[in-house]
Amino acid sequence: MAPFIGDDERASGTGQSSGSGVDAPARRNVLYIDAYDSFSYNVVAMLEEVLDVKVSVMTIDSDWPEGNMVEYLQHFEAVVLGPGPGDPNVAKDVGIMRDIWNLSGADMLPVFGICLGFQSLCLHQGIPIGRLPYPLHGQVHRIKTVNRDIFENVQDVEVTLYHSLYAKMDAPEQSTRGGDSGNPHTDRFASKDLDLLAWFLLEDERTQIPMAVRHQRKPLWGVQFHPESCKSDREACAELLRRWWDMALNYNKKTGRGEYGILPDPNHYASGSITLPAAASTMLDWSASTSSCSPYRTFTARNLDAEVICENLTAPNSPTVLFQSNGRYSIISVPSPASWRLEYYSETQRLLLEKLQNCHQTESAPRGQSVTENIVERSLSVSQFWDVLRFVMDMKKVDSGSLTVPFWGGFLGYFSYEMGLACLARPKTAAEIHPTNENAGEDPADASLLWTERSIVIDHKTGQITVQSTRAGDDMPAGWLHQTEQFLQDLALSRSQCKVCTSDTEAEFLDSILKQSVIKFPTQENYQRQIRACQAELEAGESYELCLTGETLITLPSPVSQSGRASFPWKLYKRLRKYNPAAFSGFARLGNVKIVSSSPECFLNWDRDSTLEMKPMKGTVRKTEDMTMEKAREILGSTKEIAENLMIADLIRHDLYGICGSGGVHVEKLLEVEDHGRVYQMITHVKARVDRNRPGFAARDMPQLPSSNMSGYGLTALQRCLPPGSMTGAPKERSCMHLSSIEDRKRGIYSGVMGFLDLGGGGSFSVLIRTAFTCSNEQDDEQLWRIGAGGAVTTLSTPEGEWDEMLTKLRTGSLGRQLNIAAAWLSTYTRASTLVYPGSLSSISMAGPQDASLEEILWRSPPHVQMMGGYLHSNNILFYFAESPFFDATSNNASLAIQANYNEAFRHFVETREAFEGRLRTMQGLEFVVAYDPLQAAAQTDTRFAHEPSNVWVIRKQMRRKRAGQEDEVVVLATFFVVGDCIYMAPSVASVVGNRILSAVTSLTSLLKTASTLPIFTPAHGHTYLPPAPKPTEAGQPGVPSQQSKENTPMPDAENPARVPLVGSQTGNTASTFQDTRTLAESLNLFLRYEDEYMDESPLVGEPGSFIMSKANDVDRTATAKQAPNTIPTKMGTPLVRVDTPGKGPEKVGTPSSSDESRLKKKKGRVGG
């Protein structure tokens, strides 16, 4: 028998209270048939709130109690058939709804159908159900109504639609009845028994969609729209429900229905106790040292951040969880002697408990090195796993601690997307589907939690650091609290007394690993095929929205040293945090699983009292120079964007109603556009309040839940809300089933949640997007990292648009000014990598500026130009340059951009380049500025060519130093040229001088050599030639000298002039037809006058301007590694980077092969050559 959820009325068997906690037996009973829809509890709550009734819920695949439907229905005044996915023509999609239509005579009772229930009613009355020309999921429209029946005095209502199927009724005839006030529409249809009450015309003005009907003789009503949606007119929909209820009660009174008796409790709970598996006892034994209070020490040190504290209190290879926020709090776990962790695998129903032993603690710092002491393995079901967590959190409840921090101790960790699938009401619906991760390596545990007694909490608002512990004895004099507080204060003092220098060693270490990456992207063809498959399901009514995702795999070599292998994930996280400081960042090392996350989306929060809240984000507009809040509201006000957000808003209301019950959920913000730094984001904020005396609809079968500990309700909310609706779509059950089939892989940690369970009763979890994770063992030679990205697919989506959105999310983290290519974390590290975009995008080669063997470096990114408005101009040129590998994220440019991102007071500095560079001039340190602006120069030039400016920008990398009472000292470090959308790094001064000297010497040598073949004229001798040098014979004997030539004697080799060098050497550039003949003196003179700005009209190979032109007269987009002159030593070779191109095997990119060299030499030439 499928889940049957009734009221929790064990004590008296009477109806549920109306909200005051007092039983209300007089309340009437209504039965709700749930079609596994993600909005069902919204309907149930509206019925209870508006009609003051008691609602019991049955699912469509339930069996009637004791096999007797008629007898069971005698307990109810009416039945409501709810919405749901699927087609009423398919028997299993409507289930027991069809039984209701077989009632007759005295067994008949009032029925109200919504959406699927409405269609089932129409189908039973002979009206065919067909597909709409286009689905209307999540769309809000104003419908036309008659002025009678349930719509009396309810006219032209604005309602939310969630359907792609409709009842195909004939055009109405002219009404012969009165009472419609001259309304030209009638209530008579092709079905002789149904009256039309409301309708909606599609945009074509020809297709009429029935919105409400009623049976002429039976108490049967139905509406196609969703009255419970938060965008439907609440007042009007409540009024029509009240009118239906009055008419239903009148029908029952006339037919003599009544004396319903006591509604039986379908769950038959005898008491509030449950039997727990042995794992619960083990967990309690292992946490015996955890006390019921959390003593703490506080001090203020604004120069200590979470990363510094984490590095100094935890060893690189110890189990660690860090939650870092740009908001109020950051939380750091600290190992203790009684630390342990758990892993749960939902597919095999296996629980693994690992006890850790803190075996190393120095006197100077309580820094732990954790090793395994023992491991316990248990078998338990998914529901038992959650019961055990609730039990442990309740038994180990902490009653006191610092009231200013949200976490006192408890569990820190994550729940995977697959754990969420296992928590659905029908987790085995798609049991025949077995997602395969052929190339994804080992799958992570579906839940991994670290039991934490000791922790550090940073309050970013006050600068206060709280050192706390639930471990008994840690608050003793000279105990752990005292030692740790003293250690951190000393650390803060030492950092304030000496300048903290950032070493390049860490960056070089990361780059040495990351530049050898093998990156496998999703293929465009396959992803777009999946998008079309999603839309096919949407059009069939299987879902309202499907959140499709793709996965990118990055294979990296493991560092050579053991310490390097242990520290690599942490260093990776620090770089992510540096370049991409999102609202919520997280790092976790739990066994083989390492997580590096920068997620901007909060999933679920609850406090220690009674409040739950969720804040989904759907709909994003990237900030540009011209984008304003008003424009963003206009864009996000589109039908598609509103539909995406509205579906998730209604879905999470359903989830929260399942915990808090009717009257317990309130929408704080609906479809509001907020400024989130670099983007405008549409958000909805929903809060719920728990009534411990009245569990919600989804929790009524949990007699053990009511308690004084809020953690039980929070855990139940987490269990019921997983997986995140923003990562699945709606209805959640059916959407997840189809996504598993379409994606054909396990998402793993991506799309799951990460957060904490506080022993004081609170909790907080964020959605794991913008996340990279690995399950690779550190002892393996390679590490496989996985990154996910995707988007919500609706019927208004296009395959091309969704593909571009997915790629954009792979390339773009919340700090969109960095090199975000594979994902935010990877993009900033690709200084010497080759990444391949499958499909229409070509490969982009990049070489690090530290590679001296490359005299000219080219980088371009057309997608970034498109994201910046389609062209480069004065106000976005620096931000485009910031996308390139030449940009230094430690510069003042990056610092100012980050400040503007999170501080409104700095926002105006990034609106124009003038303001941006003006602010840079007030700062000291590394900066990038525009040295030459072709648009500005053209505007200031009074010529007839001013409207055709040059397309060459000059950008300088320079170091600015402030000098008291004097002008700033500015040292130019490098020069870059932007030609079109291509960025070139100018060669170094030494390289230019070396080339000039080499060219001059070669030219002089050639001139002297040529002079020996030219005639000399004197009055005495006329034209004569210098005698050629004697040619040695094979025996080594000198050759016979030739006689002097007479007047008009032909020059040597005159018959083959091609062999005679005219001027200069041809060896420097064989494809060039123009040779640089400047002398050494002229070269040095130009250099002394213009220094590193020197660039003449005929640049040398490797100087700016010397790039290849294609046949189409366009710049060849492939970066060409030009050979360094023999006089310049090569410091390091071009890095070898393997790239897994879709459809091909891995390739090595870097140092050209001999065949590549010959091909490049043939192509190489000067502009116009």
Q: Which residues contact 318 (CB under 8 A, 6 or more apart)?
A: 335, 368, 369, 370, 589
Active site residue 226: yes
Nearest alpha carbon to residue 531 among 727, 797, 132, 733: 797
* Beta carbons of 325 and 435 less than 8 angstroms apart: no
Q: Which residues contact 229 (CB under 8 A, 6 or more apart)?
A: 39, 42, 159, 160, 162, 646, 650
For residues 291 and 396, what is the distance between their CA atoms, to the nearest angstrom?
7
Helix (H) or strand (E) holding 31: strand 29-34
For residues 484 and 469, what is the distance between their CA atoms, to the nearest angstrom?
11
For residues 1061 and 1063, what is the distance between their CA atoms, to the nearest angstrom?
6
Q: What is the largest CA-CA distance in the chain?
A: 146
Give the side-chain half-sphere CA count within 13 A for 516.
13
Q: Assign residue 349 a region (left: φ > 0; alpha: ψ between -120 and 50; beta: otherwise).
A: left
Instruction: Please state the φ and ψ torsions of residue 256, each to the nearest 5 degrees.
Output: 80, 15
Helix (H) or strand (E) holding 490: helix 480-497
Q: Which residues contact 599 (CB under 8 A, 6 or more apart)?
A: 582, 583, 584, 585, 586, 754, 766, 767, 768, 769, 770, 771
* Beta carbons of 704 and 274 less than 8 angstroms apart: yes
* Length of the chain (residues): 1169
* Beta carbons of 1059 and 1053 less than 8 angstroms apart: yes
Q: Which residues pair with 579 in a beta bridge?
A: none
Measure the CA angle with vertex 251, ends 247 and 255; round to 5°.
Answer: 170
Helix (H/G/I), strand (E/B), else coil: 494: helix
Distance between first and last Cα of the chain:
81
Q: Is the peptide bond before 731 cis (omega within 30 degrees of 0)?
A: yes
Nearest alpha carbon to residue 554 among 226, 789, 880: 789
Helix (H/G/I), strand (E/B), else coil: 629: helix
For residues 714 and 659, what is the distance between their CA atoms, to the nearest angstrom?
9
Helix (H/G/I), strand (E/B), else coil: 969: strand
Q: Which residues contact 1130 (CB under 8 A, 6 or more apart)?
A: 852, 853, 1124
Which one of the listed residues 48, 49, 77, 228 is annotated catalytic?
Answer: 228
The neighbour count for residue 271, using CB atoms within 10 Å, is 8
* Beta carbons of 898 and 813 less than 8 angstroms apart: no
Residue 173 CA, chain-centre distance (Å), reads: 53
Q: Say which residue the tokens 């007047």 belong to.
A: 1047
Radius of gyration over alpha carbons of the chain, in Å?
Answer: 37
Q: Which residues contact 12 (CB under 8 A, 6 or more apart)?
A: 23, 25
Instruction: Please state the φ and ψ torsions of residue 966, each to the nearest 5 degrees.
Output: -130, 170
Q: Which residues contact 666 (CB under 8 A, 6 or more apart)?
A: 686, 687, 688, 689
- By CB neighbour count within 10 A (0-12 exposed, 13-18 middle, 19+ buried), where does 819 fall? buried
Q: Which sequence positions are flagged as catalytic? A: 115, 226, 228
